[in-house]
Amino acid sequence: MAAWARAARALLLDVSGVLYDSGGDGGVPIAGSAEAVRKIKASSLKLRFCTNETQATREKFVKKLQGLGFDISVDEVTAPAPAACRVLKERNLRPHLLVHNDVVPEFAEIDKANPNCVVIGDAADNFSYANLNEAFRVLIGLENPVLISLGRGRYYKETDGLKLDVGAYMKALEYACDIQAEVVGKPAKMFFESALAELGVQPQQAIMIGDDIVNDVGGAQQCGMRALQVRTGKYRPGDENHPRVKPDAYVNNLAEAVDLILQQLHE
């Protein structure tokens, strides 16, 4: 049995590209993934769903996954928007939001008058020139500009193909304003540490399973976790030659990863 599977007490699962491919009328489950989640929950392993989803509130996101056949609840999800809200409150920041319309309710209790920062997420069709320029003007007009990004992904997969993610637009604002964004989603260390704290386990006791070589695998490994890359979602064969990030293992899909880990538990 592979060494990476030993002594695991908890699994952290990426969602889009691991459980399902998004797009269309809500998405398409990846074969075997719903059953794999059920197997984890029937085992002694702790489980956390770790997503950079910023196109919906957690409640709406979870409802969609439940409709696809997944056993998941809101309190099992670690997501960027709630983490960003904690940062905003702690630092008395008032955001100008460049986010998807469906995630705006996550910021309902945040003061947004006279903005002193910008929060950017995967705004999809809201990434127009006018909206990006408005965010630029807010930042460039501040003495100490603060840009908070809900992720830095390059692209993601929907049923009709690959789509540009928030990282491309974050980089545009960084370049234009000569600043560095503060990332609260994956691969930020704070994101993974929050998930581990919610599970009550140490990094070496957890395995991250994701489709993104940098944000999922690289981010988790930097926190001391083991990390697997599935060959689903945004995975590309070229990932296996990545110059910096080397997963602890490649697996064809979530179902295969879970079966291997559970076999180790039972030996």
Q: Are residues 132 and 255 in the same domain?
A: no
User: Does 11 fall in a domain?
Assistant: yes
CA atoms of 148 and 257, how far apart (whole Å): 33
Q: What's the domain count of the chain?
A: 2
Q: Are residues 72 and 151 in the same domain?
A: no
User: Does 60 fall in a domain?
Assistant: no
User: Does 63 fall in a domain?
Assistant: no
Alpha-carbon distance values, 191 to 18, 94, 263 (Å):
18, 21, 29
What size, in residues, is the chain? 267
Residues forming a β-bridge with 263? none
pLDDT digits (tens, 9 = 90+) for 174-183: 999 999 999 9
pLDDT of residue 189: 92
Q: Are residues 74 and 190 in the same domain?
A: yes
Three-state secondary-structure class, residue 156:
strand
Last residue of a domain, one of 138, 167, 183: 183
User: Does 167 fall in a domain?
Assistant: yes
Examine the pLDDT at 102 and tell me if it is beyond 80. Answer: yes
Q: pLDDT exceeding 70 applies to what percent of the chain?
A: 99
User: Does 136 fall in a domain?
Assistant: yes
Last residue of a domain, one of 130, 158, 183: 183
> Averaged over 84-104, what is the pLDDT?
95
Q: Are residues 218 and 99 in the same domain?
A: no
Q: Are residues 200 and 219 in the same domain?
A: yes
Q: Are residues 147 and 30 in the same domain?
A: no
Q: Are residues 86 and 154 in the same domain?
A: yes
Last residue of a domain, one of 148, 183, 218: 183
pLDDT of residue 113: 97
pLDDT of residue 171: 98
Q: Are residues 161 and 141 in the same domain?
A: yes
pLDDT digits (tens, 9 = 90+) for 9-61: 999 999 999 999 987 667 899 999 999 999 999 999 999 999 998 888 999 99
Q: Are residues 101 and 192 in the same domain?
A: no
pLDDT of residue 5: 84
Q: Are residues 116 and 179 in the same domain?
A: yes
> Domain range holding 242?
3-54+68-79+186-265
Residue 19 half-sphere exposure, CB side, CA atoms within 13 Å?
27
pLDDT of residue 96: 98
Q: Are residues 90 and 219 in the same domain?
A: no
User: Does 85 fall in a domain?
Assistant: yes
Assigned token pair, 17: 């590209």
CA atoms of 158 and 26, how far apart (whole Å): 10
User: Does 213 fall in a domain?
Assistant: yes
CATH number at residue 110: 3.40.50.1000
Q: pLDDT exceeding 90 applies to what percent of the chain?
A: 85
pLDDT of residue 98: 98
The residue type at 186: K
The residue type at 102: D
Q: Are residues 127 and 9 in the same domain?
A: no
User: Does 21 fall in a domain?
Assistant: yes
Nearest Cα to Cα of residue 204 among 53, 6, 71: 6
Burial of 60 (0-12, 13-18, 19+ CB in 10 A): middle
Examine the pLDDT at 1 and tell me if it is beyond 70. Answer: no
